[in-house]
Amino acid sequence: MPDEESLEDVQEMTAADMTVYEAVAALNTKERPATAAEVAAMTDLPEDDVRRCLHSLAEGGRLVPKGDAYTLGTHDWGLEY
């Protein structure tokens, strides 16, 4: 599990990471996990790039793997979609 400090520094995320994270968040507002294919379709990013971002975001604790999909990790802020 990542330390609290690593989760707080959003500036360490790449532009692609932010785009992927926001796509997962948008799908999660509908209470459904996001797959790499769905995120790739939403973002127009190559699926291989999306998979790398999903993996990196999960390693950092920002996303939680759920089978072949992902949900948001622990956070203390709200989303407006």
What is the predicted pLDDT for the residue at 49?
97
Q: Show the low-confidence residues of the chain (pLDDT under 70).
A: 1-11, 75-81
User: Who's near 24: CB < 8 A, 6+ residues apart?
Assistant: 34, 39, 54, 57, 63, 70, 71, 72
Give the pLDDT score at 51: 98
